[in-house]
Structure 1
Amino acid sequence: MASWGEIAKQAPEFTTRVRERFAAGTNKTIATLRRDGSPRISASELEFSDEEVTLGMMGGSMKLLDVRRDPRIAVHSPTIEPPVDAPESWPGDAKLAGTVVPVDPPADNPYEGAGFFRIDITEVVLTYVGTPADHLVIESWHPVQGWRRRKRH
């Protein structure tokens, strides 16, 4: 696992583009694990700093109950459709996965029972259409392999 800052030091251009994808809209899709192990998806907001990715969850929410039981999560950036006439101009979408770790709430926290977390990251992926537009490009970061780039036709 790694912090966002550690990954950014290893692959700064990659993390800049990933961060831009997550900034494309307010709501991201977060996947948590239900008690029976099946996935639950919900909307969530993330905050990126130079060092960490953090998020909060409303008290009593199902996703908060999920992560208190099993802290593994995956988060997907807002999805924007590729332009039909120029798919290679699509900036792509991004995903990250990891484990949430509780952090202290902000001093001005008005939400009783809310949970605040940083993400210890185990995977970051950026996918986009290549040039020419006959393949996908998958860039990823993993703790063991570091950053890599692959094509899928």
Structure 2
Amino acid sequence: MNWAALTTAAPELAAIAEKRFGAHRHHVLATLRRDGSPRTSGLEVRFLGGELWLGMMPNSLKALDLLRDPRFALQANPGAGVDSGDVRVGGRAFEVLDPAVKGVYVEEVEPPQPFHLFRTELTEVVLTYVEDEKYLVTQVWKPGEPVRTLKRT
């Protein structure tokens, strides 16, 4: 499922997530190293054409991690705090080699050349926030399921 599937299934959650990712330029990507341990790296993301795109420098460790194992977790930069919520996205990322697709991305984003471009398939989107200064609320979306809301004090 791509980002367009989320915007159709859970438009409010998608809008909040895009706003959180749009509030700052750099975010945190977690990938898996060759030995299976986690690696975190800074990353810029883009929402274009119903997709969440990840662009990376050529042969960066995070790109090599994704080429070997496509699983990732992405956390929106919280900035000075998470008053507007903490957003995390999990999924798989697949490199785009089609010159036409990369060309459309280049026209919109103008990334440094050369670069790796990854299209994402979402496995979950999670929003966590504090409600009424009393409740910790977590909303979880997974493909094919409605948004689940968990609330605890």
TM-score interval for Structure 1 and Structure 2 normalised by the shorter chain: 0.7 to 0.9
The residue that corresponds to 2:117 in the other structure is 116
Counterpart Cα distance in 2 of 1:48 and 1:14: 14
Percentage of matched positions with identical amino acids: 40
The residue that corresponds to 2:84 in the other structure is 91
- TM-score normalised by L of structure 2: 0.87
CA offsets 1:45-91 (integer angstroms, 9 cap, x no match): 110135110011101211011111101111000113448xxxxxx11
CA offsets 1:76-108 (integer angstroms, 9 cap, x no match): 00113448xxxxxx1111000100122233365
Misfit runs of 4+, over 2 Å: 80-83, 104-110
Q: Cα offset for 1:143?
A: 1.8
Q: Which runs of 5+ in 2 are unaligned?
A: none
- Residues 50 and 147 (structure 1 numbering): CA distance in 2 closer, same or farther, change over 3 Å? farther
Counterpart Cα distance in 2 of 1:124 and 1:93: 11
The residue that corresponds to 1:106 in the other structure is 103
Match of 2:140, as an amino acid? S
* Local SS of the residue matching 1:67: helix
- TM-score normalised by L of structure 1: 0.87
RMSD of Structure 2 on Structure 1 (CA): 1.7
* Local SS of the residue matching 1:120: strand
Q: Is the 8 A contact 2:126 2:138 kept in 1?
A: yes
What is the number of equivalent residue pairs in this alignment? Answer: 144
